[in-house]
Structure 1
Amino acid sequence: MKTFSAFRDGVSTVFKSEWPTLVLWSFLLSPLFFRILVSYRYSKIDLLVFYTIAISLLWLLAIRFVSSNQFKVHLLLLPFYLVASIDLFLVLNFGSRLTAAYLFIGLTNYKEAGDFLATYWQSITAVLAAFFICYGLGLAGLYKRRLYRNKALLLLACSGLLLGYGAYFYKTVKMNSFGRGAVLDLVAKDQSTPVGYLSQMGLTATLYLESKKHIKQRLESEVQLTSVSDQSDIDTLVFVIGESSRPHNWSLYGYHKETTPNLARHTGIFKFNSMCTTAPYTSVAVPSLLSLEPIEDWDAIASKKSLVGIYRAAGYATYWLSSQEVDSFGGIIPQIAAEAQHRQYFERSYDGALIPEYERILEQKGAQKQAIFVHIKGSHFEYSRRYPGEFAKFTPASGSAKDKMVAEYDNAVFYTDWLLGTFIERLKASNRKAVLVYVSDHGENLMDDSRGLLGHGMGNEYDLAVSSFVWASSNISAPQTHKLSTLKAREDQRISTASLPHTLLSLTGIAMPGYDSAQDLLSNDFVSSQCPHLLGTGYVPSFDFDASKLVLAK
């Protein structure tokens, strides 16, 4: 009993001394914990979450014991509190932390700030009120208060920070090899508070400076529309960009495991059995599949408006929803996202986190057409982190590392099938005249043969082949239905992901320079692709899938 009484008295003494610090800490930590509460259904509480919490607490402890004059310290930290206010606003309104995604958009779309403030002024006011109360109360409590310093605890906190960052850096070096990429990955994953804001700003500045030339050209480029036909009655276009998803593991394409049961139940699906990407890397493949420019002209792809900007210029309300993180591996994708009128990121979440916002968009009334671009995590490595536990349908056939990996990959495909099925069901329920396009950025190697290859970037029959299909609602006009029926004839033809932009412009009645009927899947002029693509070694004009299969069979 005496021990408990002594403990209680000790806690009471610490609280009386430290309550102003705790009030300030609570505000700085609020974005992190609200993010967990807001999205607990859509994200896995994994090591990365615990890492972020631990690093945040270590930073706060280091700040606490660096000086006995905490009033002065927290006065100097005012910029971090203001950034934390923005972070809290994003979490409460968009379910996302302040990362390089939003900083990059703000840096390249500052002209839209007026419209943003007009829309969210009430929420901004509420967050600022919380900031003034917490910050004011904390500073008032610290004023003229001298707190004890503890050099041992300061040293312990700093040692913990070195150990924490060092351990993560070691992990990322193992995955990406030592170099610039490993450093940027460490910076991208640092969402601690308050110092993690500097990491996100540094990453944003790096990405901006690297692509400053293309950003300037893209902002200055104008979409030259020849005409927009009123004959197309499609009022909603949904373009879903998958990740690392190859057709080999989809039952929709004949895989022996039932990984895509939801899509199999839907009518109106036109699948492509032989579609190839223009690059086995996300940073190149995604800009290419959203551009009218050929893959051999990368500068044109990087400097001209994408399909997102084209639909915006054509009068569509444009949206970019993403569960992908903005980091150095994304290249110019943030610039493409910035072309949309409305953007929202759900970093470190399952792809299912996109559904509520997707539903909200579909529920909007009005005559304006919609173009919704969705960039998902799909089957990105580590596969086991891409789906909730209830989607772990497939188990390893044996105890081997390969069988475990394949089972996890299949579960990720199973989850993507559920997501795409849900997107289609919501479109059906909305009664919109709609088309949904799904295409993966690239495929994936799963140690399929004696080469033992894993991942992508090799440029072979496993990472160049991608899953892709088009779904159309049953209420579109008879002429449009007839037009889409042409896709059935393309099912077994060799098609490049580069054909999709040309096909969609044709389907939605948009005419403009750069359109190529030879790449339009709905045109009689269509020519089967030779699968030109970019590798780290340069431009590759073609890839012979059949020849590769013959080589492997020997």
Structure 2
Amino acid sequence: MATEIGKERNIRKKKPLTRSRFTIVLTVYFFAALIIPNCVLANTESYSGWTVEALILLPLGFYMMWSVALKRSGIMIWLGFPLIFFCAFQLVLLYLFGNSIIATDMFTNLLTTNPGEASELLSNIYPAVITVCAIYVPLLWLGAREIAHRRIISRTSRMNIGLTGLVLFCLGLLALWPAYRVSEERHVLRDEIFPLNVLYNMRLSAVEFRKMHNYEETSAGFTFNATRTAEAPEREIYVYIIGEAARAMNWQLWGYDRETTPMLMRTPGIIPFRNMLTQSNTTHKSVPMILSSIAPGQHEELYRRKSISALFREAGFETWFISNQSPQGAMIDKLARQSEHLLYIRSPRQDMQLLEEMERIISTSKAERLFIVLHCYGSHFSYHQRYPREFAHFRPDDDVAINPEHKEMLLNAYDNSIRYTDYFLSRTIGYLDSLDANVAMLYCSDHGEDILDDERGRFLHASPTTTAYQIYVASLGWFSDEYRRNFPDKVAAAEHNENAPATTHALFHTMADMASISSEYIDHTVSFVSPEFDWEAQRFYLNDHNEARPYPKTGLTEQDLQVLERYGVRF
């Protein structure tokens, strides 16, 4: 019996390769499925005709040659799994953002987003997930089946497909030169040819991760040489609040027609900074810059300099960093650890817990000089999970899939999250106002959010190209009566600069200036509490390739510029 089983196994091992007509069909399925993202991008991107030709012909020719590089096409399909992954990823992002390729920041987000947030997003974009599974999962299954059956493609078919692919590839190469000549940026291969642009972005993301990994070494010898130019006679408390995904358009305080900030509207002493733009529409870039003194054109300095907490520690403050977002292994965590005390709120995380922790710290700490950073969860998607049910003021606000049909419910939930932020900020100000201390508070969101606002159907943030809704953010300051008596000139400057054109680069310098801290790294021309604020300076954004770009060069359309102009934001 054992001998017979052994013979059967040997027969299976020696099963000959067999030709199959279906293998030709599967080969065509392979390169046709891979070229789908390119065809979509040809319609969503504002590429020149020459670029579109290269975008289609170069990859299609390569896929055809790849598919017949071996006579066993099933093996080539599985060797092409990374390409299949990129295609699936790209189609999901096109569903989410409507345009653009997989950006550098997407890879960083993929590695630093916590599983809970990722599952929230995936559960709400299931149509895209189902679609890519329907396209690519059968391809992989059929490829595995071909491998198991040891099927091959005929020599003639291989030659025909391979030579056709070579011709298409060469035609694509010929289109690159005129495409390069008409391109404004002159980076056709790097920026416009999928999946080459994705491979470049993946490499750039890996470089950034290496720099982040080495941050402790590269910043070890850095010092602000911080000193105080003035001190208050009372206890001093400075509170730096970093919001999440709170776009200014949905704040009643900015003219929104819904009552999303009713408590702040009644809070005296609020100074809203009405012309604030984020330096990046991604949290993992925006927040580190908010915590650092660097401008977009100084991105490499991020890995050499220390954070605002280190600045305040040098100036003699007890420093706290209280976060309502879980550690993600990103640059934010490294900068947060430079605080003397670091605290992460446990689930369920709602922003009023930040106030509760701050109250405990202020009441128990014996320090006369306190600096506290509060990192909020704010309006992070899924919006309906960011507030207690009693704050469901706008209804219905159900947990629904991302779809234009559900825009009303998504907007209601988002506005409820802003209303909860209003409650949190007003209660925080009320508590700080009750203290017998010299207190100043500065709040700003890290970026905004798209909520299916127009025919483009854009949603969320972190897209490679910006929109008005992603870059225009809510920011405000508040000062206690004691602070106003001690530093009237700073308060007067803040009131004067309420409409000053600024970016989140101003936050570090404003917070330091509020506390009268002096350092060669503090720039008074971008401080809201300084009469030296430069109203004429050009504003810059840090793009996906970590390059400083004027905002009109970040993908903003004429429609976006008109939206911003309605709020007094001009370039």
* Corresponding residue to 1:481 among 477, 488, 492: 488
Question: Residue 489 of structure 1: CA displacement?
Answer: 1.9
Q: Deviation of residue 352 (structure 1)?
A: 1.9
CA-based RMSD of the aligned residues comes to 3.2
Structure 1 contact 245–442 (Cα < 8 Å) conserved: yes
- The CA deviation at 1:317 is 0.7
Q: Give the match for residue 240 of structure 2.
A: 239
TM-score, scaled relative to structure 2? 0.59
1:283 and 1:249 map into 2 onto residues whose CA distance is: 23
- 1:498 aligns to what? 505
Q: Count residues in correspondence.
A: 367
Amino acid at match of 2:504: T
In our comparison, the structure showing a higher alpha carbon Rg is 2
Q: Quote the residue 2:538 is aligned against.
A: 530
Write out per-residue CA displacement over residues 66-86 of structure 1, whole angstroms, 9 at most, x where no aligned residue. Answer: xxxxxxxxxxxxxxxxxxxxx
User: How far apart, in 1, do the equivalents of 2:278 and 2:295 lie?
Assistant: 12
- 1:481 Cα deviation from its structure 2 partner: 2.8
CA 1:187–1:550 in structure 2 vs 1: closer, same or farther (change >3 Å)?
closer
C-alpha distance 518-234 of structure 1, shift in aligned 2 (>3 A): farther
- The equivalent of 1:225 in structure 2 is 226
Please tell me whether the aligned partners of residues 252 and 260 of structure 1 are also in contact (alpha carbons under 8 angstroms): yes
Counting only pairs closer than 5 Å after superposition, residues 396-545 of structure 1 correspond to structure 2 as 396=396, 400-457=405-462, 458-528=465-535, 529-544=537-552
Q: CA deviation at 1:180?
A: 8.0
Cα deviation for residue 300 of structure 1 reads 0.9
After superposition, the Cα gap between the structure-2 partners of 1:517 and 1:223, relative to the gap in structure 1 and judged at 3 Å, is closer
Q: Name the structure 1 match of 2:174.
A: none
Shift of 1:432: 2.1
User: What residue identity is the alignment partner of 2:333?
Assistant: P
CA contact (8 A) 1:232 1:508 kept: no
CA distance in 2 between partners of 1:351 and 1:262 (Å): 16
One-letter identity of the residue aligned with 1:487: A
Q: 1:313–1:538: structure 2 CA closer, same or farther, 3 Å change rule?
A: closer
Q: How does 1:50-199 map to 2 (within 5 A)?
A: 182=110, 185=113
How many angstroms does 1:225 deviate by?
Answer: 1.9
Determine the C-alpha separation between the residues in 2 that align with 1:321 and 1:540.
30
Distance 2:108 2:477 in 1: 39
Q: Which runs of 5+ in 1 are unaligned?
A: 1-169, 191-205
Alpha-carbon distance in structure 2 between the residues aligned to 1:212 and 1:523: 36
How far apart in 1 are the matches of 2:485 and 2:368? 22
Residues 1:370 and 2:377 are matched in the alignment:
no
1-structure distance, mates of 2:303, 2:269: 34
Deviations 1:487-540 (A, max 9, x none): 222222211111122222222121111122221223332113533111214424
Map of 2:173 onto structure 1: none
> Per the alignment, in what secondary structure is the counterpart of residue 271 of structure 2?
strand
Local SS of the residue matching 1:384: helix
- Check whether the contact 1:323–1:346 (CA below 8 A) recurs between aligned residues: yes
Equivalent residue for 2:309?
A: 308
The alpha carbon displacement at 1:477 in A equals 4.8
2:351–2:378: 8 Å Cα contact kept in structure 1? Answer: yes
| Alignment-derived partner of residue 381 in structure 2 | 381
The equivalent of 1:57 in structure 2 is: none
Distance 1:500 1:455 in 2: 24
| Deviation, structure 1 residue 209 | 6.4
- The match for 2:342 is 343
Match of 1:327 in 2: 328
Residue 378 of structure 1 aligns to which amino acid in structure 2?
G
Residue equivalent to 2:357 = 357
CA contact (8 A) 1:188 1:327 kept: no
Helix, strand or coil for the counterpart of 1:526? coil
What is the correspondence of 1:259-274 to structure 2 with a 5 Å cutoff?
A: 259-274=260-275
Q: Which amino acid aligns with 1:371?
A: F
Letter in 2 for 1:472: F
2:40 alignment partner in structure 1: none
**Greater displacement, 314-323 / 417-426:** 417-426
Distance 2:561 2:208 in 1: 42
8 A Cα contact 1:235 1:432, kept in partner: yes
Structure 2 CA distance for partners of 1:305 and 1:232, relative to 1, 3 Å: farther
- d(CA) in 2 for partners of 1:453, 1:264: 30
Q: 1:438 Cα deviation (Å)?
A: 0.5
- What is the one-letter code of the residue matched to 2:301? A
Equivalent residue number for residue 31 of structure 2: none
Q: 1:365 to 1:341 in 2, by over 3 A?
A: closer
Letter in 1 for 2:260: T
- Quote the Cα distance in structure 1 between the aligned partners of 2:372 and 2:114: 31
Does residue 395 of the first structure (1) align with residue 395 of the second (2)? Answer: yes
Asked if the contact 2:543–2:549 (Cα under 8 Å) also holds between the matched residues in 1, the reply is no
Q: How does the TM-score come out when normalised to structure 1?
A: 0.61
Q: Distance in 2 between matches of 1:364 and 1:252?
A: 34
Alignment correspondent of 2:139 = none
Contact 2:114 2:326 in 1 (8 A): no
Q: CA shift at 1:181, angstroms?
A: 5.4
Q: Read off the aligned partner of 2:527 and give its amino acid letter.
A: D
Deviation string 1:461-492 (CA, Å, 9 cap, x unpaired) is 11111100001112225351342122222222
Indicate conservation of the 8 Å contact 2:448/2:472, yes or no. Answer: yes
For residues 180 and 207 of structure 1, the distance between their equivalents in structure 2, rounded to whole angstroms, comes to: 9
Deviations 1:168-216 (A, max 9, x none): xx99x978999785576576889xxxxxxxxxxxxxxx99966222122
Q: Distance in 2 between matches of 1:551 and 1:363?
A: 48
- The offset of 1:299, in angstroms, is 1.9
For 2:523 and 2:265, how far apart are their aligned partners in 1? 32
SS of residue in 2 equivalent to 1:499: helix
Moved more, 213-222 or 235-244: 213-222
Are the counterparts in 1 of residues 211 and 303 from structure 2 also a CA contact under 8 Å? Answer: no
Q: What amino acid does structure 2 have at the position aligned with 1:434?
A: V
Per the alignment, do residues 184 and 286 of structure 1 end up closer, same or farther by CA in structure 2, a change over 3 Å counting? closer
Gaps of 5+ in 2: 1-87, 97-101, 119-206, 399-403, 566-571
Which deviates more, 174-183 or 365-374? 174-183
1:546/1:263 CA distance change after superposition, 3 Å? farther
**Contact persistence 2:271–2:498 (CA under 8 A):** yes
Contact 1:231 1:509 in 2 (8 A): no
Cα shift at 1:221: 1.9
Q: 1:493 to 1:222 in 2, by over 3 A?
A: closer
